[in-house]
Structure 1
Amino acid sequence: MEREKTHSIFFSLSPLLYLILSILFFRFIWQIPYPHPMALFVAGFLSFLQRRDRKLLFLKSAFRKNFLSVLPAMEILFFVGMLIASWAYAGVLLVMIQAGILFLQPDYFLPSLAIVAAIAAMVSGSSWTTAGTLGVALMGVAEVISFPPSMAAGAIVSGCYFGDKLSPLSDTTNLASSLTHVPIWSHIRHMLKTTCISFAIAIFCFYILNLFVWDLNQFQNSTLQSNQFLLDTTKQISWLKFIPVVLVFGSALLKIHIRISLALGIVSAIAFSVKEFGLPFDIIKTLVYGFESHSGNVVLDRFLSGGGVVAILPTEILILAAVWFGAVVEGYGYLAEILIQIKNWANDRWDILLSTMGTSFLLNMVTADQYLSLVVPARAFRSLAEEKGIPEKDISRALEDSGTITSPLIPWNSCGAFMSTSLGVSVISFLPFVFFNLIHIILSVSVLLIGKKNIKVHS
Structure 2
Amino acid sequence: MFGAVIWNLLNYKMILALLSGLCILVGLAKKRSFSFSQILGMCARGIKTTRGLLILFVLVGVLTSLWRASGTIPVIVSYATHLIHPQSFILVTFLLNCAMSLLTGTSLGTAATMGVICATSAQSLGISPMWTGGAILSGAYFGNRLSPISSMALLTANITRTDIYRNVRNMLRTTWLPLLLSCTIYLVAGFVLDESKSAFSAESVRTLFSLKFTLSWWGFVPAILMIVLSVLRLRSWLVLLCSAMSAFVIAFVVENCMLLEILKMLVFGYRAGVPELNQMVNGGGILSMVNVFTIVVIAGCYGGIFKETRLLDSLKSKIQKIESCTNPFVSKLATSVLVACVTCNQTLTIVLTHQLTSPTDESPGCRESHALDLYDSAVTVIALVPWSVATTIVLVAAQAPSSSVFCACFLYLLPITRLLARNRFKVLYNAG
Change (3 A) 1:304 1:232: closer
Deviation at 1:357, TM superposition (A): 4.8
Q: CA deviation at 1:224?
A: 7.1
Question: Deviations along 1:355-404, whole A, 9 cap, x unmatched?
Answer: 35546777887973858856984533689xxxxxxxx9899657524444
| Corresponding residue to 2:262 among 269, 273, 283 | 283
Question: Matched residues in 2 for 1:146 and 1:227: separation?
Answer: 14
Q: CA deviation at 1:155?
A: 2.8
Q: Conserved in 2, the CA contact under 8 Å of 1:198 and 1:436? A: yes
TM-score by length of 2: 0.68
SS at match of 1:334: coil
Moved more, 130-139 or 57-66: 130-139
Structure 2 distance, partners of 1:75, 1:50, is 31
Structure 2 match to 1:156: 139
> Displacement of 1:39 after TM fit?
1.8
1:48-93 C-alpha deviation (Å, 9 max, x unpaired): 4355215135533442343233333332232222222222222222
Contact kept in structure 2, 1:357 and 1:403, CA below 8 Å: no
Q: Is the 8 A contact 1:145 1:224 kept in 2?
A: no
Q: Does 1:261 align with 2:239?
A: yes
Report the Cα distance in structure 1 between the residues aligned to 2:135 and 2:269, rounded to whole angstroms: 23
Paired AA for residue 442 in structure 1: I
Change (3 A) 1:293 1:117: closer
Larger radius of gyration: 1
In the alignment, what sits opposite 1:406? 378
Mapped to 2, the partners of 1:57 and 1:213 lie a distance apart of: 62
**Corresponding residue for residue 70 of structure 2:** 90
Deviation at residue 254 of structure 1 after TM alignment: 0.9
Contact 1:363 1:369 survives alignment (8 Å): yes
> Structure 1: how far apart are the matches of 2:226 and 2:18?
34
Structure 1 residues 284 and 50: CA distance shift in structure 2, 3 A? same
Structure 1: state its 5+ residue gaps: 1-26, 384-391, 450-459
Indicate whether 1:306 and 2:283 are aligned.
yes
In the alignment, which residue of structure 2 is the partner of 1:319?
Answer: 296
- Distance change in 2, residues 1:88/1:134 (3 Å): same
Give the conservation status (yes or no) of the 8 Å contact 2:91–2:135. Answer: no
Deviation at 1:310, TM superposition (A): 1.9
Where does structure 2 lack aligned partners over 5 or more consecutive residues? Answer: 1-5, 124-128, 424-432
Structure 2: distance between partners of 1:33 and 1:71: 21
Paired letter, 1:196: W
2:427 counterpart residue number = none
Question: Could you say which residue in structure 2 is the equivalent of 1:271?
Answer: 249
Q: TM-score, normalised by structure 1?
A: 0.64
**1:436 Cα deviation from its structure 2 partner:** 1.9
Q: Pick from 376, 379, 382 the counterpart of residue 359 of structure 2.
A: 379
Q: State the secondary structure of the residue aligned to 1:293.
A: coil
Task: Give the drift of 1:251.
Answer: 1.0
Q: 2:114 aligns with which of 134, 138, 143?
A: 138
| Residue in structure 1 matching 2:331, options 355, 361, 367 | 355
Distance 2:208 2:243 in 1: 24
Look up the equivalent residue of 2:412 and give its one-letter code: L
CA contact 2:44–2:301 (8 Å) conserved in 1? no
Query: What is the aligned residue count?
Result: 386
